[in-house]
Chain A
Amino acid sequence: QTVVTQEPSFSVSPGGTVTLTCGLSSGSVSTTYFPSWYQQTPGQAPRTLIYNTNIRSSGVPDRFSGSMLGNKAALTITGAQADDESDYYCVLYIGSGVVFGGGTKLTVL
């Protein structure tokens, strides 16, 4: 079974920049996997941030950006704010289905 990998946790200082990545247990992520990114704060439903690698969903601040970084998809937060402290999940289209990464817990401190 294909496993989508993410860093379990990451820390960033307020105002800083952080890049979270999304890889595969075997093989490389490419744009053909149409990577997307989701933010979830405790007790809330997830929110869609980025789709199709680098397209921001409606209403998402431009401090969030998506890209490819080597053989992984990446989510970069520039100028991190306290309310960016959340869990971040990537999703890849694999075959005819969808696979979530395990999520990255981002701490802003």
Chain B
Amino acid sequence: QVQLQESGPGLVKPSQTLSLTCSVSGGSISTGGYYWNWIRQRPGEGLEWVGYIFYSGSTYYNPSLKSRVTISVDTSKNQFSLKLSSVTAADTAFYYCAGGSSVTAIPIAFWGQGTLVTVSS
């Protein structure tokens, strides 16, 4: 049973870069066919896909965030990470990491518990 856990600062200043890490346990991040997603949810709003990195290293981002987002993988630590640059208050949200599988065509099979990031000076 794969489990995910987000970690990172809960408070980020405007114009700075938000950085979060997702630790994967119970399975290898290098397993073929897996997607590693970041999803966010502004308080009181719906879910928004931020992007994913494929097991091969290919990345795909939400077009509305693409210019500010980088998702990367550290296979040695079995982790993947999110960086979102030039943040504003509109980036205040719960951020979830999640895994999916291209083999079973499920974009989001399992979820982390989420972490709240507040953008404020």
Question: In whole angstroms, how far apart are the Cα atoms of A87 and B41 in the complex?
Answer: 13
User: Main SS of the interface on chain A?
Assistant: strand
A14 contacts the other chain (CB 8 A)? no
Contact digits for B94-118, partner A, Cβ 8 Å, 1 yes 0 no = 0010000000111111111110000
User: How many residues of chain A have a CB within 8 Å of chain B?
Assistant: 25
Which segment of B8-16, B20-28, B44-52, B77-85 sits at the interface?
B44-52
* Interchain nearest-CB distance for A104 vs B (Å): 10
CB < 8 Å: which of A38, A97, A102 contacts B60? A97
Residues of B contacting A93 in the complex (Cβ-Cβ under 8 angstroms): 105, 107
CB–CB B62/A46 < 8 A? no
Asked, given contacts A36-B106, A51-B104, whether A102 binds B111 with beta carbons under 8 Å apart, the answer is no
Question: Chain B: residues with CB nearer than 8 A to chain A?
Answer: 37, 39, 46-49, 51-52, 60-64, 96, 104-114
**Residues of chain A at the chain B interface (Cβ within 8 Å):** 1, 34, 36, 38, 40, 45-48, 51-52, 55, 57, 87, 89, 91, 93, 96-103
